[in-house]
A and B are shown apart, each in its own frame.
Chain A
């Protein structure tokens, strides 16, 4: 079974631009979560989607948004990019998103904002 895939793997943007990252979960998984990883803040939860609905959200500004499609694929969008948005963005999937379930992570998208 194929793992979680994320595209693109690397991205360079300039301040003020917007960016869209894509995540394809493991086949059959309906829950998709997003995390941001930076050297200063570590790994932080962004949001979680299940059946096209956002069920949980972390403490990020409204510039960070996401959506999930009917095939469970998910996208996250960051508008008006800031230098501090430079990070590794990780997507994870699980079957139903229960608290005891294992989340399987993709390789991440590394975003650099200049």
Chain B
């Protein structure tokens, strides 16, 4: 079965510094991977997704992620954090059963200080 592990429950950065949110996946085949963001009391918004095309995926709001099969990783990065980036981020893998079922990581809370 597919699974994802988010290596940090909390990440704290200063505004203007780089962001790195780490995610490792487990899958017996080439997976579809996603990063979603959830702001307080809001639903989930897709940041980016990987579906076996380019390994470097660019998303919204300056975020990007690189799929590394050899390391089974899909880390999320942003060159410069903004206060509005403070939120919970979820790494997600799509289940392989053929019909849509997302398997979520436990989430990483990003804190951005001025």
Interfacial residues, chain A to chain B (CB-CB below 8 A): 4, 31, 33, 35, 42-45, 48, 50, 55-56, 58, 90, 92, 94, 97-108
Partner of B102 from A4, A33, A50, A106 at Cβ < 8 Å: A33
A102/B99 in contact, CB under 8 A: no
Closest B residue to A45 by CB, please name it. B101
Q: Do A90 and B32 touch (CB < 8 A)?
A: no
What 8 pairs across the A-B complex have the smallest Cβ distances?
A: A43-B104, A105-B44, A97-B100, A105-B43, A100-B51, A99-B94, A55-B99, A100-B32
Do A104 and B46 have beta carbons less than 8 Å apart? yes
CB-defined contacts of B46 to chain A, threshold 8 Å: 102-104
- Other than the given A56-B99, A101-B100, A107-B43, 12 more pairs (CB < 8 A) read A4-B43, A35-B104, A43-B90, A43-B104, A45-B101, A48-B99, A56-B100, A99-B95, A100-B32, A102-B49, A104-B46, A108-B43
B binding-site residues for A, Cβ under 8 Å: 32, 34, 36, 42-46, 49, 51, 90, 94-107
- Tell me which residues across on chain B come within 8 A of A94, comparing CB atoms: 100
- How many angstroms from the CA of A39 to the CA of B100 in the assembled complex? 24
Point out the residue from A42, A58, A100 that lies within 8 Å of B101, measured CB to CB.
A58
Instruction: Enumerate chain B residues within 8 angstroms of A56, measured Cβ to Cβ.
Output: 95, 97, 99-101
CB distance from B61 to the nearest CB of A (A): 16
Q: A90-B43, A107-B42 are in contact. Are A99 and B104 (CB under 8 A)?
A: no
Min CB distance, B99 to chain A, in Å? 4
Q: How far is the CA of A58 from the CA of B103 in the complex (A)?
A: 10
**Cβ–Cβ contact A106 & B96, under 8 A:** no
Task: Check A103/B107 contact, CB under 8 A, given A43-B90, A108-B43.
Answer: no
Q: Which residues of B contact A33 (CB under 8 A)?
A: 100-102
List A contacts of B49 (CB < 8 A): 100, 102
Q: Which of B44, B49, B99, B100 has the most CB of A within 10 A?
A: B100
24 contacts between A and B (CB under 8 A): A31-B100, A33-B100, A33-B101, A42-B107, A43-B90, A43-B102, A43-B107, A45-B95, A48-B101, A55-B99, A56-B99, A56-B101, A58-B101, A90-B43, A90-B44, A99-B32, A99-B95, A100-B51, A100-B94, A103-B46, A103-B102, A104-B46, A105-B45, A106-B43
